[in-house]
Amino acid sequence: MNDVLIRGRVLTFVAEPNGIDDTSSCHYVEDGAVLVREGKIAAVGSYGEVSKAAGAGHSVADHRPNLVLPGFIDTHLHFPQTQAIASYGAQLLEWLNTYIFVEEQKFARTAHAAEVADRFMDELLSNGTTTAVAYCSVHSQSVDAYFAAAEARGMCVIGGKVMMDRNAPEQLRDTPQRSYDETKRLIAKWHGRGRARYAISPRFAITSSPEQLEMSRALVAEHPDCYVQTHLSENRDEIAFATSLYPRAKDYTDIYARYGLLNDRTFLGHCIHMSDREVGALAETGAVAVFCPTSNLFLGSGLFDAARFDKLGARWSVATDVGAGTSFSMLETMDEAYKVLHLQGQRLTPLNSFYRMTRGNALALGLERSIGSLEAGSDADIVILDARAKSAMEYRMHTATSLAEELFILQTMGDDRCIDEVYVSGKPMKTKVRRKSALASR
C-alpha cells in the first residue's frame, strides 16, 4: 500500500457559508492531513489522528503552513480559445466573428488540437483547477484531443463537440445530421470512460438552426445522463438576434425550453440580461446559470445578478470562460466575481468564494460525492495554496488575523504563483508541469 499523507492546514466545505464568519459551513483543521490511498481520500482530520490510520511505510507530503483544499472546478470554458485570450476591442458577436471563428478553424488539424489540449490541461493544473467543463471545436478530433489529454493526466473533465450549422464560416459549420451522428459517436467513445463525461453542446441559438436544436433535443432525450451546455443572454445584440431567429419563443430562455434543453444537468453560460420569468424557468427546471465574471467584464457584456438567482431559487455556478475570460485562474476569477457583485451592492464573502470554486461547483454538476470536497471517499483532487507566494502578499499576510482574511488575500492578490502543488487522484502534477515547461524553454 502506497499511502500518502498530505499535511497542511486542511479546509473543506460541508455547506454553503452564510455570512463572513460562518465556520459551521466548513471543516478546518490547523494541523491537518488528508490520507490518500489508491487515488481516493481514505481519511481526513488532524495530522495525529490521520497518521495513525496510515499504513506502514506511508510517505508524507508536508505542505505546512499552506492550505490544503479540494481542487478547483471550472464549469465553463473553451479549450480551442486558449490562444485567443486577450483579443482586442470587440463585444460578443464581433469578437466571435473577428477572432474566435478564425481561431477555431485551426482545430481541423489533429496535431494542432492535440498540442493545444496538452497546454490547456497543464494550464488548468498550474492554476489549481482539477476539473473543467469545456467546449471543444466543431471538429470531432478536437474532442478526442481534449479527452485524451485529460485521460493522460487522470483528470475528471466534461466536454463536448460544439454543434453549429449557421451564422458561422463554412469551415466551422456542421449539419443537423452530422452534429447528431458525431455527437452520438463521441458519447459512445468518451462518456463514462474513466473520469470523462460528455456535454451535448449546441453553441447557442444563433449558430443552430431549428433542425439542429431538434437534433439536440433527441440527443438529450437519448442520453439523459449526459450534460448539456450552451450560452444564454450574454449580450443585448445577441439576444435581439437570437429571438429574431426564433420568433415563436417567448424569450431567449424559451428557445432552449421549447427544444427540451433545460434540465438539472444543463449549464447556461452568462445569463446576464434575464427577466424574472426566465430566471424562474431555470429555477423550475434546475438548469444552472454560469457566472463568468472576467469574460463579462472583458467583452463588456454586463453584470451577473447573483442575488436575483438566489431570491428566485435558481442555481448558479462560477467559471472562467477562457478565451473571453482573461485568466485560467479561479482565484483571479473570484476576485472579479467579488467586484461584479460589489458594483451591484452584493457581497461575496471569502468563504463563499472558496465554497463556490469547490463544493458549490461540484454540487451544480451533481458530482459532490467524488469531487469538490475532502471527505473520505472522494477522489484525491487537491490544491495546495500559498498565501505568501508574492512579496506583496507575504507582507500583507503580516496583518492578517483570520482564515477568512487569508482567503480574501489569496483571491484578491493571488494567481498561479499561489498554487504550491496540485494533486490529481493523489498524484502531484504541478511540479511535473513546471519541469516540462522549463525543459521546453531551453
Residues within the interface to ligand GUN (CB under 6 A): 78, 92, 96, 100, 203-204, 231, 234, 295, 321, 324
By a kind-dependent CB cut-off of 5 to 8 A, residue 100 interacts, out of ligand GUN, Fe ion, none, with ligand GUN
Say if residue 53 is exposed, middle or buried (CB neighbours under 10 Å; 0-12, 13-18, 19+): middle
Q: Does residue 321 touch Fe ion according to CB under 5 A?
A: yes
Q: How far is CA 326 from the centre of its chain?
A: 14
- Residues β-bridged to residue 159: 134, 198
Instruction: Tell me the three state secondary structure of residue 302.
Output: coil
- Looking at the Cβ atoms of 25 and 320, the one nearer to ligand GUN is 320
- Looking at the Cβ atoms of 321 and 420, the one nearer to Fe ion is 321
Q: What CA dihedral angle connects 168, 172, 175 and 176, to 10 degrees?
A: -80
- Looking at the Cβ atoms of 326 and 352, the one nearer to ligand GUN is 326
By a kind-dependent CB cut-off of 5 to 8 A, residue 203 interacts, out of Fe ion, ligand GUN, none, with ligand GUN
- Binding-site size for Fe ion (CB under 5 A) equals 2
User: Residue 249 CB, nearest distance to ligand GUN (Å)?
Assistant: 17
- Looking at the Cβ atoms of 37 and 78, the one nearer to ligand GUN is 78
CB 76 within 8 A of CB 292: yes
Pairing of strands 72-78, 26-37: unpaired
- Looking at the Cβ atoms of 127 and 301, the one nearer to Fe ion is 301
Instruction: DSSP for 97-147, please give it.
Output: IIIIHHHGGGGGSHHHHHHHHHHHHHHHHHTTEEEEEEE--SSHHHHHHHH
By a kind-dependent CB cut-off of 5 to 8 A, residue 123 interacts, out of ligand GUN, Fe ion, none, with none
User: Residue 201 CB, nearest distance to Fe ion (Å)?
Assistant: 10
Q: How far apart are CA 43 and CA 12, in angstroms?
A: 13
User: Residue 295 CB, nearest distance to Fe ion (Å)?
Assistant: 7
By a kind-dependent CB cut-off of 5 to 8 A, residue 234 interacts, out of ligand GUN, Fe ion, none, with ligand GUN
Instruction: DSSP for 26-60, please give it.
Output: EEEEEEEEEEEETTEEEEEEEHHHHHHHSPTT-EE
By a kind-dependent CB cut-off of 5 to 8 A, residue 103 interacts, out of Fe ion, ligand GUN, none, with none
Q: How far is CA 392 from the centre of its chain?
A: 28
User: Residue 114 CB, nearest distance to Fe ion (Å)?
Assistant: 22
Burial pattern 229-245, b for ≥16 Cβ within 10 A else e, equals: bbbbbbbeebbebbbeb
By a kind-dependent CB cut-off of 5 to 8 A, residue 216 interacts, out of Fe ion, ligand GUN, none, with none
User: Residue 289 CB, nearest distance to ligand GUN (Å)?
Assistant: 14
Q: How far is CA 408 from CA 74, 124, 131, 188, 303, in A?
A: 19, 21, 22, 43, 21
Using alpha carbons only, what angle is made at residue 224 by residues 284 and 16, rounded to the nearest 5 degrees? 50
- Looking at the Cβ atoms of 174 and 234, the one nearer to Fe ion is 234
Cell numbers 445522463 correspond to what residue? 225
User: Residue 102 CB, nearest distance to ligand GUN (Å)?
Assistant: 12
User: Residue 135 CB, nearest distance to ligand GUN (Å)?
Assistant: 7
Using CB under 5 A as the binding rule, the residues of this chain from 248 to 277 that contact Fe ion are 269
- Looking at the Cβ atoms of 61 and 324, the one nearer to ligand GUN is 324
User: Residue 85 CB, nearest distance to ligand GUN (Å)?
Assistant: 11
By a kind-dependent CB cut-off of 5 to 8 A, residue 204 interacts, out of ligand GUN, Fe ion, none, with ligand GUN
3-state secondary structure string across 401-417: CCHHHHHHHHHHHCCHH
- Looking at the Cβ atoms of 201 and 358, the one nearer to ligand GUN is 201
Which positions touch Fe ion (CB under 5 A)? 269, 321
